[in-house]
Amino acid sequence: MFWLLLISIGIIVIAVFGLPGLRRLVITGPVFTLFKKILPAMSQTEKDAIEAGTVWWEGELFSGKPQWEKLLAYPQPKLTPAEQSFLDNECAELCRLTNDWEATQVHHDLSPTAWQFIKDKGFLGMIIPHQYGGLAFSAYAHSQIVQKLSSRSSAAAVSVMVPNSLGPAELLLRYGTAAQKDHYLPRLAKGLEVPAFALTNPHAGSDAAAIPDTGIVCMGEWQGRQVLGMRVTWEKRYITLGPVCTILGLAFHLHDPDHLLGEVEDIGITCALVPSNHPGVHIGRRHWPLNAVFQNGPNWGEDVFMPLDWIIGGPAMAGHGWRMVMECLAAGRAISLPSTSTGIAKLAVRATGGYARVRSQFNLAIGKFEGVEEALARMGGNTYLMDAARIMTAGAVDLGEHPSVASAIVKYHITERARGVVNDAMDVLGGKGICLGPSNFMGRAYQQIPIAITVEGANILTRSLIIFGQGAIRCHPYVLREMQATQHADANAGLRAFDAALVGHIGFAIGNALRAVWLGLTGSHFVSVPANVAPETKRYYQQLTRFSSAFAFLSDVSMLVLGGGLKRREKLSARLGDILSQMYLASATLKRYQDEGCQAADAPLMHWAVWDAMFKAQQAFEGVLANFPNKVAAWLLARIIFPLGRPYVVPADALGHEVAKCLITPSATRDRLTDGMHLPQSEIEASADPVGLIELALAATLAAEPTEAKLRAAMKKVGADETTALQGGRSKDSLLAVADGGTAMNERERLHLAQQTGVLTTAEATLVTHRYDLRDQVIRVDDFPADFS
């Protein structure tokens, strides 16, 4: 009887799902009606944000079975000869012209010389095509330049970054009229115009779509005649380059109460280009963001009349401003803050690692203490991963993508990991890090790191609402299609589209559930991976496939159980976003390792970074399951996702030890890890630079270490075994002289005595003296008069 019932149910299911008409009547029709009722209302700005940009590798991770061949086939970004030359010459020269201490204490800005150099050399027009006089650089070149400047000066990096990111140039290139492009782009490329983009209002920060700034379509006088235009009232703040801009990109909500443009009264968010010297435009004083001296400040205007031709793209683009901003942000956010944060991290890693080898306590380099090693390991592993994600995402932009979800991932996670790197650097540096002055290379970065956390989408908002909130709709192969079907003007056509999407969705969810169980039970050992991957990375590809299947299934169950309520469950949404993010970061790390030729010396960095990302993804899974509102579903999900327990723990101490060694020892690995940061190019230049001094002192330390070890051995009290007194062929008396004097002498006196007694040669003593001199310069901190300000 049971088997007959089971067969009957099977026949009914097959009949229903095999007959589309019957299926729509019995199953998808009622679901379609219910779905339309429970689907939360979505504003036009929300639709614009969700539909902006493109789906890239993050979509593969949402599929449950990522195609690793596709990831590895993406070309590794490369600089053209012109881009490399600019990076090596003009960019390096700007770094030399930029003294961070002088900028913050003397000019409170870049020096006039540095500003003029930026304008003359085309830094403000890197993304502008050659036909308009720009440099036409790739996204990767843009990223490399910003990274290098960030390792030297935040003011230089931000002043160059903003005009080439979300700003008038980007908006004009995508949406401007021919006349607007012909007029403004050559002037922007030559530095004749300094642009700023004004979006944030005091009452609309993270909720930027709710800006209360308004424009009213009306007739008004312009250049002696009556024209159709708009009167705009606005109040903006936090506008980078605002205090020095000559052309202001302005976002406001446009209304047409008299229907001068058509039947629509509430036209929507609109973007216009406004000369900063236009009557009624008020450029305020500057903000002072955590002692960063890049120009940033408020501006406002009241009933300022401007012609409709000032709308970017002309009157036809009125009301399309939010979509324009979101699409530009999808690309710009993938480059700007990931590049600045990675540049700062490379500075921290190289300089702090060198300092940890140069600085000794208890007769041991501090970088060899396990506690310090732990911090250095995090710094090295995080920086390797950050750079991998930065490069891969910039490369996506160069492939023509505008990866809105991936850009949110790298914006959030690279800025957060940079914060961790800088905090670890400060812990290692101790007093050296907290005393500001010309010899402090980390203090300003420590002060200013929260700026990146705050801008281009506050990090809490990005993690809680955007990464999964947008990713679940854009990256999922069926959800957006289902949502679009409910909004179809033709109900029957909408039902047919919904039916096709829902059937695909059900199959997708069942497939991922079965795959997740199988991969969990087998430890994913039978997952096929590309034949050309390094053997040491094979298991990571397999485990990432397992996590991808589990994530896709968990996402579907979460959306099914919580429905529209998932949007309000920000903590769960954030953790689901963390899983997607960590898989993306691990993918980028594996691609970097593969692209760079699977360098065995770099393997500890790769292993630490991937292991850490996978452990964090696992923690995010646990966070979702522990807080899932339906406890029965949570129990079942846990058995499906982790049937045999959790596969990952924190990266091993032994692995962290190997990573820390990479930071404190000059090597090709250390050079690759910090490639692209600014370093002085001559000994004279290095001797006047805090990072350059560390490089010189590190080389001197390594050269002197064997001699210092010889000296320490000589200082030990001679025991009963006479052979220990004959070290280096010297007599017992000479060794005892050094040892006996050691308790009352300082290191330089002991060194002099060792030379006098013949324990060390003159050349050896000179080598150690040089090391002492450079070390003392490195560990020195600045002091100032009592009335210093």
Which residues are annotated as catalytic?
Answer: 456
Closest CA to 311 of 296, 321, 303: 321
Q: How many angstroms separate the CA atoms of 44 and 52, rounded? A: 12
Count CB neighbours of 89 within 10 A: 11
What DSSP assignment string belongs to 515-565? Answer: HHHHHHHHTTTT----TTS-GGGHHHHHHHHHHHHHHHHHHHHHHHHHGGG
Closest CA to 653 of 378, 374, 417: 374
CA angle 651, 344, 352 (to 5 degrees): 65
Q: How far is CA 511 from CA 237, 391, 508, 514, 559, in A?
A: 50, 33, 5, 5, 17
> Counting beta carbons within 10 angstroms of the beta carbon of residue 278, is it exposed (0 to 12), middle (13 to 18) or buried (19 or more)?
middle
Q: How many angstroms separate the CA atoms of 500 and 497, rounded? A: 5
Report the Cα 467 to chain-centroid distance in Å.
13
Q: Name residues whose C-beta falls within 8 Å of residue 250's C-beta, 6 or more positions apart in sequence.
A: 198, 213, 232, 234, 236, 271, 272, 273, 274
Closest CA to 252 of 300, 298, 285: 300
Q: How many angstroms separate the CA atoms of 163 and 623, rounded? A: 40
Q: How many angstroms separate the CA atoms of 542 and 520, rounded? A: 11
Tell me the CB-side half-sphere exposure of residue 282, using CA atoms within 13 A.
Answer: 15
DSSP structural state of residue 227:
E
Radius of gyration of the chain (CA): 31
Distance between start and end Cα atoms, the chain = 91
Whether the Cβ atoms of residue 115 and residue 295 lie closer than 8 Å to each other = no
Tell me the pairing of strands 214-222 and 225-240.
antiparallel
The three-state DSSP-derived secondary structure of 23-74 is HHHHHHHHHHHHHHHHCCCCCHHHHHHHHCCECCHHHHHHCCCCCHHHHHHC
**Maximum Cα–Cα distance for the chain, whole Å?**
107
Q: H or E segment at 507? A: helix 491-522
Whether the Cβ atoms of residue 316 and residue 176 lie closer than 8 Å to each other = no
Report the Cα 285 to chain-centroid distance in Å.
30
Count CB neighbours of 270 within 10 A: 28
